[in-house]
Amino acid sequence: MLRLAPLLIVTLLVAPILAGLTMALLPAFGYLPALGGERLSLAPWRELLAQPGLARSVAVSLASGLITTAVSLGVVLLFLAGASGSRLDRWIRRLVAPLLSLPHAAAAFGLAFLIAPSGLLARLVSPGLTGWERPPDLLLVNDPWGLSLMAGLVVKEIPFLLLMSLAALPQLDPDRRIAMARSLGYRPLTAWFKVVAPALYPLIRLPVYAVIAYATAVVDVALILGPTLPPTLAVSILTWFHDPDLSRRFMASAGAVLQLGVTAAALVAWWCLERGATRLGRHWLARGGRGQGEQPLRLAGRALILLATLSAFVGLVGLALGSVAGFWRFPEALPQSVTAAHWLRALPTLAGPVATTALIAIGATLCALVLTLAALENEQRSGRHPAQGRLLSALTLLYLPLIVPQIAFLFGLVVVMESLGIRPRPWLVMFGHLLFVLPYVFLSLSEAYRRLDPRWSQLASSLGASRHAVFWRVRLPLLLAPLLTAGAVGLAVSIGQYLPTQLLGAGRIATVTTEAVSLAAGGNRRVIGVWALVQACLPLAGFALAVGLPRLIWSRRRGMQGAP
């Protein structure tokens, strides 16, 4: 059984994506017998290219992918380079970590509350600085160039890239590298960029690519913060797909293929940038500049990461204020009256979606944990490690669902399910979530699992414990904390999913996320505040358990307090 686990995982991840892509590709060229498309033709493409504003949609999608990634990565690297282990730096790191669990949609709503013309920021400086007595007529949210969209994405991608880097850094032993470079006369920040960054980047390259892919094709954040006339390509595709005129599905399929191309183009463009940076970097390294004027850069790194982090938190505060606000006249920074009415009115409608969200998240996470443990345990027992050839490629496949844009294969998958006669059910949505939960759970757990000192299991078997006993009585208890963290990551990923729920549930399965995002168009801040807050809090419950449970269980075991 165990031996089949890696194969099962790869099949589970790759087969739906291939099937989905195929069923997007065929209709894109006019072939979908169920809708009367019997012959291959280019008509869907002609129709797609005739859509007004298509070029703008594509440009915004492409730009948001590249700019979001460049800004997020730049801020993270600058912060890490300038970080000196001071109390401020550690405080910033601790502040950033919980943001990873914050669903994209909630972060986007928070930012929208913050920067909207009638938002918290405008209220704080009005009328004092601006003289505004009423909200100015500015298109700050949903701006046509997608700047607010990119800002919303940057707020979420910074924590992701930062934590990925922090996880990879220890194996590079950065302190000794820096000490060596400084003994050769390099200033600390320059030393970091010259001796740590070049070794770090290859380790976080795949997460960086995942950010590019995500930012070019995101739907929920684009519905909340993105441009509207025309929207980004991914949002347009979704609109066409949901058009009551079913023949538009052909054009939607062509759009999905185009989206695949846009994401691929963004990845290729980034790869070229990488090559260019490597070449320039080599020159810069060899020139031997020791660095000067570092202080401003160091400050910039901290200031930017604080700005991004604080805007997320203040946005959440804005959401909370909005959800309890009674009367709230424009330039006032705080509501004149506070009321529980919005919460009371929302409560009866919250229960169902919260339960569905929890059910789907727990189901998908448990499946992912079992599969991940089976694959990792198989790796241990067969003594084969990922660095040895074959498994390396399997590991790269784990990233496939994170690098192929969701919209490009998900609705092809819907077509597959429809033609198989499979009706939307919670388990189908759960399966859709598993595609995205599994990679994150695997990535989150595999490091700890592989790093566990092999002498523990050797010792246990020399004491007569069978392989099963070693797994249940030694490895699992020792890895309880990382196991629960991986579970919390899985829950958070599932709770934040919008598109798989919407498409595989055919709009009939309501989770907290789909409900919250559907409120975006309405613009009722009170109700949005309630739903977005609930959405933000659910993943936190998982992380609270992941942190609290091991402390409770191991309260009398000092050796289990730190990381294993």
How many angstroms separate the CA atoms of 501 and 503, rounded? 6
Min dist. Cβ of residue 476 to other proteins (A): 10
- Give yes or no for residue 560 binding other proteins (CB under 8 A): yes
Residue 557 interacting with other proteins (CB under 8 A) = yes
Judge contact between 213 and 65, C-beta under 8 A.
Answer: yes
Query: In degrees rounded to 5, what are phi and psi of residue 338?
Result: -115, 140
For other proteins, which stretch binds (CB under 8 A), given 237-245, 307-315, 354-362, 549-557?
A: 549-557
By CB under 8 A, tell whether 556 contacts other proteins: yes
Q: Specify the residue, 478 or 504, whose C-beta has the smaller distance to other proteins.
A: 478
> Cβ-count burial of 108 within 10 angstroms (0-12 exposed, 13-18 middle, 19+ buried)?
buried
| Residue closer to other proteins, measured from CB, 293 or 562 | 562
Q: Confirm or reject binding of residue 451 to other proteins (CB under 8 A).
A: no
Nearer to other proteins, 150 or 474 (CB): 474
Least Å from the CB of residue 166 to other proteins: 24
Q: Is residue 459 a contact residue for other proteins (CB under 8 A)?
A: yes
Q: Which stretch binds other proteins (CB under 8 A): 4-12, 368-376, 462-470, 497-505?
A: 462-470
Q: What is the DSSP string of 183-245?
A: HTT--HHHHIIIIIHHHHHHHHHHHHHHHHHHHHH--HHHHHHS--SS--HHHHHHHHHT-SS
Stretch that binds other proteins, among 202-210, 260-268, 456-464, 498-506 (CB under 8 A): 456-464
If one asks whether residue 464 binds other proteins (CB under 8 A), the answer comes out as yes
**Interaction between residue 293 and other proteins (CB under 8 A):** no
Residues 369-408 that bind other proteins (CB under 8 A): 383-384
Piece of the chain touching other proteins by CB under 8 A; list 97-105, 123-131, 369-377, 465-473: 465-473
CA distance 429 to 360: 7
Q: 115: Cβ–Cβ under 8 A, 6 or more apart, which residues?
A: 121, 140, 141, 148, 151
Q: How far is the CB of 459 from other proteins (least distance, A)?
A: 6
Whose CA is closest to 402, among 369, 427, 437, 446? 437
Q: Bridge-partner residues for 325, per DSSP?
A: 338
Quick one: 295 or 466, whose CB is closer to other proteins? Answer: 466
In the list 462, 521, 522, 563, the residue contacting other proteins (rule: CB under 8 A) is 462
Pick the binder of other proteins from 389, 420, 559, 563 (CB under 8 A).
559
Of 227-235, 360-368, 410-418, 477-485, which segment contacts other proteins by CB under 8 A?
477-485
Q: Which one of the spans 21-29, 316-324, 338-346, 468-476 is the region binding other proteins (CB under 8 A)? A: 468-476
Between vectors from CA 58 to CA 54 and to CA 62, what angle results, nearest 5°?
170
The nearer residue to other proteins, 331 or 550, going by C-beta atoms, is 550
Q: Taking CB under 8 A as the rule, does residue 94 contact other proteins?
A: no
Nearer to other proteins, 299 or 469 (CB): 469
Name the one range near other proteins by CB under 8 A: 22-30, 202-210, 364-372, 553-561. Answer: 553-561
**450 belongs to the binding site for other proteins (CB under 8 A):** no
Choose between 244 and 383: whose C-beta lies nearer to other proteins: 383
| Distant-in-sequence, close-in-space partners of 99: CB < 8 Å, separation ≥ 6 | 107, 155, 156, 158, 159, 309, 312
Distance in Å, CB of 396 to other proteins, minimum: 22
Torsion, Cα 123 125 131 133, to 10 degrees, reads: 10
Q: Name which position in 84, 389, 455, 552 contacts other proteins (CB under 8 A).
A: 455
Minimum distance of other proteins from residue 532's CB (angstroms): 40
Measured from the Cβ of residue 307, the count of other Cβ atoms closer than 10 Å reads 14
CA distance 339 to 391: 57
101: CB partners within 8 A, 6+ apart: 488, 489, 492, 539, 540, 542, 543
291 dihedral zone (left: phi>0; alpha: psi -120 to 50; beta) = left
Tokens of 512: 């907290």
Q: How many residues bind other proteins (CB under 8 A)?
A: 28
Identify the three-state secondary structure at position 529: helix
Cα gap 103→106, rounded to integer Å: 5
Please say which residue, 67 or 391, places its beta carbon nearer to other proteins.
391
In the complex, what is the shortest distance from the CB of residue 491 to other proteins, in angstroms, rounded to a whole number? 24
Between 309 and 457, CB nearer to other proteins = 457
Coil, strand, or helix at residue 325? strand
Residue closer to other proteins, measured from CB, 1 or 387: 387
Burial class (CB in 10 A: 0-12, 13-18, 19+), 484: buried
Using DSSP's 3-state secondary structure scheme, residue 37 falls into strand
| 232, 146 Cβ separation under 8 angstroms | yes
Residues 434 and 456: their CA atoms lie apart, in Å, by 32
- Choose between 145 and 456: whose C-beta lies nearer to other proteins: 456
- 255 to 145, 401, 499, 506, 515: CA distances (angstroms): 20, 19, 16, 19, 25
Structure tokens at 482: 């990382």
The residues in 31-50 that bind other proteins, with binding defined as CB under 8 A, are none
Q: Closer CB to other proteins, residue 202 or residue 559?
A: 559
Among 239, 247, 461, 518, contact with other proteins (rule: CB under 8 A) = 461
Binding track, positions 494-533, relative to other proteins; x by CB under 8 A: ----------------------------------------
Q: Shortest approach of other proteins to residue 402 CB, angstroms?
A: 31
Contact positions vs other proteins (CB under 8 A): 383-384, 454-456, 458-467, 470, 473-474, 477-478, 480, 554, 556-560, 564
